[in-house]
Structure 1
Amino acid sequence: MPQYGYFLSCEQYGPAELIEQARMAEQAGFQALWISDHYHPWNDEQGQSPFVWSVLGALSEAVSLPVGTAVTCPTVRTHPAVVAHAAATAAAMSPGGFRLGVGTGEALNEHVVGGPWPPAHVRLEMLEEAVQIMRRLFSGEEVNHRGTHYTVENARLYTLPDEPVPVDISGFGPAATALAARVGDGYITMMPDASMVEQYRKGGGGGKLISGGTKVCYGADREECVRTVHRLWANELLPGELGQVLPSPKHFEQAQTLVTEDMVRENRVCGDDADEHVAELRRFADAGFDRIYVNQIGPDLQGFFDFYRTKVLPQL
């Protein structure tokens, strides 16, 4: 049976709000937490972007649930040796356990340090090399590395969890899914696509953890929920690789004019019909996911958690 978790959105909420949501999620019966790792929000309407590693420290004191990043990019903005340091400390502090979710990232967050934004196949090469470096550091050894993309000299992590940090790899296409199957401790994708799950399992993923997530907007007025999603998260309905290559929130705001409210109605669960919420999460369960996370877009957080505690999670 899958576990059901709550997805904390650093793009939409500040640190104190995220910690309170985590407490509410644990009290409502959610079994795990995800948290996004962004330098920018996708658009100015979302309006936040706290440093995830600071928030993770507070989460370790606030809740006992397992937590993971969804996802961190350990390749451009932050060197993999630094990400490994942060992740090891987060894992040592997390009572429920910590998983480092990683991916090839977006220009939105990564180009801020002024370097070029590589093409997708190069970003995958960088991610694989970064994972190799981090794994060596998680073992406690002193690492010296001169590779294609990274140099590490005399690096050793002294504060480590009891077990090496699991590294889950995000993939939205065949190449990234193949990489996740080959080198990941788990697989992350935001689409309930059984064919990708099958590729991951057969490609080397075996019985490793597969995690996915979705966003909903709970509220009594369905049309108001549609408008809320359209205002805050229309970026999720942009086609193709726009999400990976647009460099700033203002560019996403320009592109979002292509997204209509009808597209939101067709692609996002909005309102307070429990059966619709259950069906959305079961799409992931039926596709073979082990952990399924949900994020509430709308402002009624207390209503959402009460609704899931009493109407949705019991059916799942």
Structure 2
Amino acid sequence: LWGWAFTLIIISSYTANLAAFLTVQRMEVPVESADDLADQTNIEYGTIHAGSTMTFFQNSRYQTYQRMWNYMHSKQPSVFVKSTEEGIARVLNSRYAFLLESTMNEYHRRRNCNLTQIGGLLDTKGYGIGLPLGSPFRDEITLAILQLQENNRLEILKRKWWEGGKCPKEQDHRAKGLGMENIGGIFVVLICGLVVAIFVAVMEFVWATRRSAETEEVGVSARSPGKEGTQASDSKAALHTSNDRHGGKKELRSGWAGRGIYRAPWRRHSKGRPAGPLELVG
């Protein structure tokens, strides 16, 4: 019974989790990468006009990015915006995906919990400080930046200014498998059932043992009155006297052969004389 209950609860929990997973999957927007964004038309997407991101798509030779550029360049009304604030407002008020640099994306997501990032980075590039050609400060600034990076000072400053928002780090909202904190109770039920089953089995064994012992005692008591007389008869039947034919010597032999009564007939000579010592036969 406990095993069937455990199996039923496991199957029910799995079915409920699977149903929730399929429901969430249908509710989510089917866009998780640039390829997904390029293959659909329900969600518009664009960049800051004349910005570095727009230039990246315009000069890219990657097929997916070329398709995205052709879409943005030909889309009317225009999908380009004049500033980051305008792009974020358009994301919040319409079905629009704003393409911008990851640092700005992370900064605004930490301060507006309704924003999220879809997919990974489109590309990676470094930052630098622009100086006039042949500037004498180039090497000194380069060494200072390398020292700040080596001492992890740049990462500390980034955490100070980027993580100062009110929104926590983004969590994975996809359906997850059931953990022990979700199904631990049914294992407790199973263990309790096993303990009860073992206790009942031990009690049944003890009861059966005592019952068997009592039955044997009753049987032995019922046979006790005739036991002494039977042993006496057996002892008498096992005692025989043998007579030596010539010397008249008598010999007492005894033997024990169980509970049967044995007889020792005299072996007679043809003239009626004893043929030899008596023996126990039977």
Question: Where is the strand percentage greater, Structure 1 or Structure 2?
Answer: 1
**Higher-Rg member (1/2):** 2
> TM-score, normalised on structure 2?
0.24
> TM-score, normalised on structure 1?
0.22
